[in-house]
């Protein structure tokens, strides 16, 4: 009898389950469940109440319904062969709940209160609170590149405390959606070091930032330390076993081990077969996330965070990011490519193909353009959302495919800068692995990255990488006695994907791009590090006028 693990991946618009063979990581089945309510960013369900700008909520009923549907589907496919369940979730997607885990928004008296609803990761309305936390400072921030984010747990908590104190008071729990799903499945509230570490500033040695700090900011904030529940556990730890209720509801065996939750991006690392230091994973999509493990925890300026047990147990997991990559290309194709590129039937895909074919024929520097890839601000290393995109070198003969090439090159410069930030901070990067939709779709981008980095870039075509990773954590959590593995390293080595398409640097291009990267750095310093604050002022003018 073959052994299988379920990986559950809760994304922004839908949830997905994969059934993964424990022996070799092969995917036996997949299923997707689109959330009926999607992203709630305009009107609160059942009330007609309009939400303010920058809000983004989700419906916990969608998660529960998805959970039941997906697990039933998997159980029907594999019956008794399923040995464990793992969960990854977007993060920080966080909700207030009662002591028994009931989401406040599902309790009638709170249903019409927007702050009682789960705040999705991309809820950005807590920015003023993030700004206040950053202004207050705090030693804990040194492991987060110096800054908290409006997307993270404490900024969102403070927004609730300030704008809906009755919700803050009524919430016995303030919990990541991933942890909440695990709690539903096994009846045990098990917090994940991954979510707690990257999003709520928890560190293994010092815990959360202290009550005294939060008390200095808002009287209701210290109590959130209690609402964060029991001490977080390392990823790949077993949270508990499936409850009889959920076993009956789904057809899985009661007691089936459930692993503690992980953040969706971070689950891609084991899926790529990576369990050791120095091997950077770049997940390329609309933005890019850079993940890496190392035995040592270092305070590196400009990264997103470093958390022990956050990606692999026993190691420090590092995260950095580029705030925009694929969305720059998408902006360009939608907003700035002329009619003749659209050949009618092909739509955007055809435009991308045409641009890529023409851009690939250009030599390094031939476009005569240089761009700063800050269309959404700069995450690593400047952590500055007020920065913006720049193109220099435009002439009356500049053509669209030349601009497109410059945008691809800028994305590669941004990746080089992330790697140099890690290395300057004492965190070695030996290999570069890429995955994600953009990495699979855009070979020119990968070739240019190899040229700009002067390193081989190994691309893993691994659909549903996060879900597969969740299944690997589950197999490790199950342990050998229940048909899983004795360690996460063993699980990764057996179940992780190791096939790669390899892009190798071209020496001639490396020389030119090394020089152009020098220009990228110089412009980056001028516009991002004190030379000119024009980008911030342009953003303010735009916001004031809008």
- Chain residues binding a copy of itself by CB under 8 A are 324, 327-328, 330-331, 334-339, 341-342, 362-370, 375-376, 388-400, 403, 512, 515-516, 519, 522-523, 526-527, 531-532, 534-535, 537-539, 541-542, 544-546
Own/partner pairs, 24-32, CB within 8 angstroms, 24+ separation = 24/494, 24/495, 25/468, 25/472, 25/494, 25/495, 25/496, 25/497, 27/464, 27/468, 28/4, 28/77, 28/78, 29/73, 29/74, 29/77, 29/78, 30/464, 30/467, 31/69, 31/70, 31/73, 31/74
Q: In terms of CB distance, is 212 or 397 closer to a copy of itself?
A: 397
Measured CA to CA, the distance from residue 333 to residue 330 in angstroms comes to: 5
Cβ 4 vs Cβ 22: under 8 Å: yes
Cβ 455 vs Cβ 414: under 8 Å: no
Q: Tell the smallest beta-carbon distance from residue 146 to a copy of itself (Å).
A: 23
Q: In terms of CB distance, is 230 or 338 closer to a copy of itself?
A: 338
Q: In terms of CB distance, is 23 or 538 closer to a copy of itself?
A: 538
Q: Tell the smallest beta-carbon distance from residue 350 to a copy of itself (Å).
A: 12
Output DSSP code: residue 314: T
Q: In terms of CB distance, is 69 or 512 closer to a copy of itself?
A: 512
Residues 7-31, buried b or exposed e (16+ Cβ, 10 A)?
bbbbbeeebbbbbbbbeebebeebb
Measured CA to CA, the distance from residue 397 to residue 369 in angstroms comes to: 12
Q: Tell the smallest beta-carbon distance from residue 277 to a copy of itself (Å).
A: 34
Cβ 501 vs Cβ 458: under 8 Å: yes
Measured CA to CA, the distance from residue 404 to residue 391 in angstroms comes to: 11
Q: In terms of CB distance, is 167 or 516 closer to a copy of itself?
A: 516
Q: In terms of CB distance, is 66 or 400 closer to a copy of itself?
A: 400
Q: In terms of CB distance, is 212 or 395 closer to a copy of itself?
A: 395
Q: In terms of CB distance, is 58 or 388 closer to a copy of itself?
A: 388
Q: In terms of CB distance, is 48 or 507 closer to a copy of itself?
A: 507
Instruction: Specify which residues 103 forms β-bridges with.
Output: 97
Measured CA to CA, the distance from residue 165 to residue 159 in angstroms comes to: 9
Cα four-point dihedral sign 386, 427, 155, 186: positive
Q: Tell the smallest beta-carbon distance from residue 332 to a copy of itself (Å).
A: 9
Instruction: Specify which residues 142 forms β-bridges with.
Output: none
Q: In terms of CB distance, is 150 or 203 closer to a copy of itself?
A: 150
Q: Tell the smallest beta-carbon distance from residue 485 to a copy of itself (Å).
A: 42
Q: Tell the smallest beta-carbon distance from residue 453 to a copy of itself (Å).
A: 20
Measured CA to CA, the distance from residue 64 to residue 72 in angstroms comes to: 12
- Angle at Cα 30 formed by Cα 266 and Cα 479, nearest 5°? 55
Q: Tell the smallest beta-carbon distance from residue 419 to a copy of itself (Å).
A: 23
Q: Tell the smallest beta-carbon distance from residue 72 to a copy of itself (Å).
A: 39
Q: In terms of CB distance, is 113 or 451 closer to a copy of itself?
A: 451
Q: Tell the smallest beta-carbon distance from residue 344 to a copy of itself (Å).
A: 10
Output DSSP code: residue 258: E
Output DSSP code: residue 533: -
Measured CA to CA, the distance from residue 377 to residue 323 in angstroms comes to: 6
Q: Tell the smallest beta-carbon distance from residue 335 to a copy of itself (Å).
A: 6
Measured CA to CA, the distance from residue 115 to residue 502 in angstroms comes to: 47
Q: Tell the smallest beta-carbon distance from residue 402 to a copy of itself (Å).
A: 9
């Amino acid at each position: 009898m073959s052994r299988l693990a379920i990986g559950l991946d809760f994304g922004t618009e839908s949830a997905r389950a994969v059934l993964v063979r424990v022996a070799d990581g092969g995917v036996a089945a997949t299923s997707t469940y689109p959330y009926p309510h999607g992203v709630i960013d305009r009107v609160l369900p059942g009330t007609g109440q309009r939400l303010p700008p920058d809000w983004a909520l989700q419906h916990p009923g969608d998660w529960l319904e998805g959970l039941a549907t997906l697990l039933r589907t998997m159980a029907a496919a594999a019956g008794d062969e399923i040995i464990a369940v793992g969960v990854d979730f977007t993060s920080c997607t966080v909700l207030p709940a009662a002591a028994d885990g009931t989401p406040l928004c599902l309790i009638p008296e709170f249903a019409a209160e927007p702050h009682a609803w789960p705040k999705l990761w991309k809820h950005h309305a807590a920015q003023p609170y993030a700004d206040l936390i950053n202004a207050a400072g705090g030693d804990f921030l040194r492991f987060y590149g110096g800054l908290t984010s409006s997307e993270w747990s404490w900024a969102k908590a403070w927004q609730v405390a300030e704008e809906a104190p009755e919700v803050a008071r009524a919430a016995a729990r303030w919990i990541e959606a991933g942890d909440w799903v695990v709690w539903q499945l096994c009846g045990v509230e098990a917090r994940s070091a991954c979510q707690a570490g990257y999003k709520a500033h928890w560190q293994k040695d010092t815990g959360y930032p202290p009550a005294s700090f939060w008390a200095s900011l808002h009287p209701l904030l210290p109590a959130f330390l209690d609402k964060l529940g029991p001490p977080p556990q390392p990823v790949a730890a077993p949270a508990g076993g499936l409850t009889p209720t959920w076993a009956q509801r789904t057809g899985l065996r009661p007691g089936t081990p459930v692993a503690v939750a992980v953040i969706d991006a971070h689950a891609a690392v084991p899926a790529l077969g990576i369990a050791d230091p120095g091997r950077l994973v770049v997940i390329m999509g609309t933005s890019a996330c850079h993940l890496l493990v190392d035995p040592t925890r270092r305070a590196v300026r400009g990264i997103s965070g470093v958390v022990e047990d956050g990606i692999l147990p026993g190691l420090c997991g590092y995260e950095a990011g580029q705030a925009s990559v694929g969305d720059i290309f998408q902006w360009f194709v939608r907003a700035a490519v002329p009619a003749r590129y659209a050949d009618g039937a092909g739509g955007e895909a055809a435009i991308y193909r045409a641009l890529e074919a023409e851009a690939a024929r250009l030599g390094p520097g031939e476009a005569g353009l240089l761009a700063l890839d800050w269309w959404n601000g700069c995450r690593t290393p400047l952590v500055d959302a007020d920065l913006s995109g720049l193109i220099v070198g435009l002439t009356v003969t500049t053509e669209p495919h030349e601009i497109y090439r410059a945008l691809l090159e800028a994305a590669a410069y941004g990746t080089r800068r992330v790697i140099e930030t890690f290395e300057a901070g004492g965190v070695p990067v030996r290999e570069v692995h890429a995955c994600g939709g953009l990495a699979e779709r855009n070979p020119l981008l990968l070739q240019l990255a190899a040229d700009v980095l002067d390193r081989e870039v190994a691309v893993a075509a691994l659909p549903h990488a996060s879900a597969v990773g969740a299944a690997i954590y589950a197999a490790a959590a199950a342990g050998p006695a229940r048909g899983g593995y004795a360690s996460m390293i063993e699980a990764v080595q057996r179940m992780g994907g190791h096939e790669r398409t390899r892009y190798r640097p071209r020496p001639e291009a490396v020389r030119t791009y090394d020089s152009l990267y020098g220009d990228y750095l110089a412009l980056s310093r001028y516009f991002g590090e004190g030379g000119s604050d024009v980008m911030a002022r342009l953003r303010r003018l735009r916001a004031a006028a809008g």
